[in-house]
Chain A
Amino acid sequence: MTVCRALLVAFLLVSLSERANAQSLVADLSEDLIAITTGFTGSDVLLFGATDGTGEIVVVVRGPSSRIVMRKKDRVAGIWVNTNAVAFQNVPSFYHLASSAPVEEVLPNEVRAREQIGLAYLTIEAAQQVDSDEEDAFASALIRNKQAEQLYYGAVGEVELVGGRLFRTRVNFPANVSTGPYVVETYQVIDGEIASKTVTTLQIRKIGFEAGVFDFAHSNPALYGLIAILVALVAGWLAGYIFRKT
């Protein structure tokens, strides 16, 4: 299986490197769909590609964006209570950065800020009017919490350059990833400038039983509730019946 996959990757890399002669940068993923099934515990995806042999490679992976409410606790009458909340818009559910060399040496700050490369340059906008100190405190808390959930990768992952022209990096998606479309941006950087960029996409979807249960619970909540009750009644009756016999 792994040998097979290695051969496949090698083959793809060779064909990619040929295409790379025409284009300066090509990249692809080992999978374009991650299926969340019953046994899902997270998944590794391999990003690989080829360049014309110059520059460094920087990879940014972003999950689908959504609105997130950050809450802050304060001590009220001796107990910790959520007192303040700030909502943020267009927050990526997942963020991963990898680079073939220390990213701060490869790219100047202005470019990283423009392209939002690195958590420090990830702009997260409040959905409401709040003063800027407070917004910063809540925004950095959001990033900190996302890192704790392993959904934002705090460090910079390594992009391996193979023989100068080929590159690869591994992206880990933990079990708590959101579903939806993921965007992988690969940059080729030459002398502190982005020489070329390619975008690849990846879908994360619930598949099979898990998807069925989730969709049913949301699309038909009344029937789902009744079935949940029925299942419990039958299970309870069955349990009582089995243990009466023994």
Chain B
Amino acid sequence: MNIYLPIAEMSVDVFLLLAMGGGVGFLSGLFGVGGGFLMTPLLIFIGVPAAVAVGTEANQIIAASVSGVLAHMRRKNVDFKMGAILVAGGFIGSGIGVWVFTALRQIGQVDLLIAVCYVVFLGSVGALMLIESVRAILRRQAGIPRRGKLHQHNWLHGLPFKMRFRRSRLYISALLPLGVGFIVGVLAAIMGVGGGFIMVPAMIYLLGMPTSVVVGTSLFQIIFVTSNVTFLQAYNNQTVDIVLALLLLAGAVVGAQLGTMAGSRLRGEQMRGLLALLVLGVGAKLGWELVAQPDDVFSIGEEIVGG
């Protein structure tokens, strides 16, 4: 059964979209990630224009994050003060990100920008995660207990504007979460992702937040930043397809529940290792497309209304 998507202006099988939503939702439930980094490349792969894929995925991530954050709020796993500062950084970052996106779209380089961002960030984050999880698995096998302080002190803790974050049991400079929020905001706008895969490691290793509040707080930030991206993309580029977003969401909601159930049977470091391989796989695929000889070096550019 086909449906004509009003903004993407193409006809797609409804069941394909539901299956994509379900599949990505399953993985996001399994690994506890948003799944934007999988869905946006998949949408581009089935022929959705890159700009529409990015704008629409931001819209879908809002919904996915809302249902996630509600569950974390019930367990009091959201640091609202930390979240508010991350959001402030995220608003500035996503504003700049959408502006860059619009400018590059007009000179025909937005596809390149998206692809390069994906390759760089998926490649580096995937590699770091893989190394970390392999180490953890080896350590477990060797039977060496994990030791270390709550978090290490370095030059980052010497920055000014110190603030106390009770929920996270931290006394750090407000510039740190502001900076993390900013970078994630830029990425959310350009890549059509929530940015959890950058923010979660940054919160753990850079800010030193306790793991229990990390996911809830990052979801809290993602809601606001992806809302901002959705609004700005809709306003500047008219690239948010509500129909597409809702269909993907319908599949993702069911998939995520199944994924969460399946995830409870896997051990943490195994799961991180598998996620790392997945992230690297997507990065490698997109990297290959950048370097491989295209079928036709000519392409029809996007029509820019009023451009």
- Where the two chains meet, the residues of A that have a C-beta atom closer than 8 Å to any C-beta of B are 36-42, 66-74, 78-82, 85, 137-138, 141-142, 144-146, 148-149, 175-176, 206, 209-211, 213-214, 217-218, 221-222, 224-229, 231-233, 235-237, 239-244
B296 touches A214 (CB 8 A): no
Tell me, yes or no, whether B124 is within 8 Å of chain A by CB. Answer: no
Q: Is the CB of B63 within 8 A of A175?
A: no
Report 30 cross-chain contacts, Cβ distance below 8 Å, ordered by A residue.
A67-B303, A69-B108, A69-B301, A69-B303, A70-B300, A72-B297, A72-B298, A73-B294, A79-B290, A79-B291, A80-B290, A80-B292, A82-B108, A141-B298, A209-B6, A213-B242, A213-B243, A217-B238, A222-B234, A225-B233, A225-B234, A225-B240, A228-B59, A228-B234, A228-B240, A231-B242, A231-B246, A232-B230, A236-B64, A242-B253
Complex-state Cα separation, A231 to B243, whole angstroms: 11
Q: Please classify the interface of chain B as helix (H, G, I), strand (E, B), loop, or mixed, using the class held by over half of its residues.
A: helix
User: A37, A211, A228: which contacts B242 (Cβ < 8 A)?
Assistant: A228
Q: Can you name 7 extra interface pairs (CB under 8 A) apart from A40-B2, A242-B253?
A: A71-B300, A73-B294, A82-B109, A213-B6, A233-B62, A236-B63, A237-B66
Chain B: residues with Cβ within 8 Å of the partner, total of 58
- The CA of A66 and the CA of B294, in the complex, are separated in Å by 26
B160 → A minimal CB distance (Å): 35
Cβ-Cβ contact count across A and B, 8 Å cutoff = 183
Interchain CA distance A74-B71 in the complex, whole Å: 49
B171 at the interface (CB under 8 A from A): no
> CB < 8 Å: which of B2, B238, B249 contacts A235?
B249
In the bound complex, CA of A124 to CA of B231 (Å): 38
CB-CB contacts below 8 Å: B222-244 with A = 223, 227, 230-236, 238, 240, 242-243
Contact B109 A142 (CB under 8 A): no
Whole-angstrom distance between the Cβ of B127 and the nearest chain A Cβ: 19
Evaluate contact between A237 and B70: CB separation under 8 angstroms.
Answer: yes
In the complex, which residues of chain A have a beta carbon less than 8 angstroms from the beta carbon of B304? 69
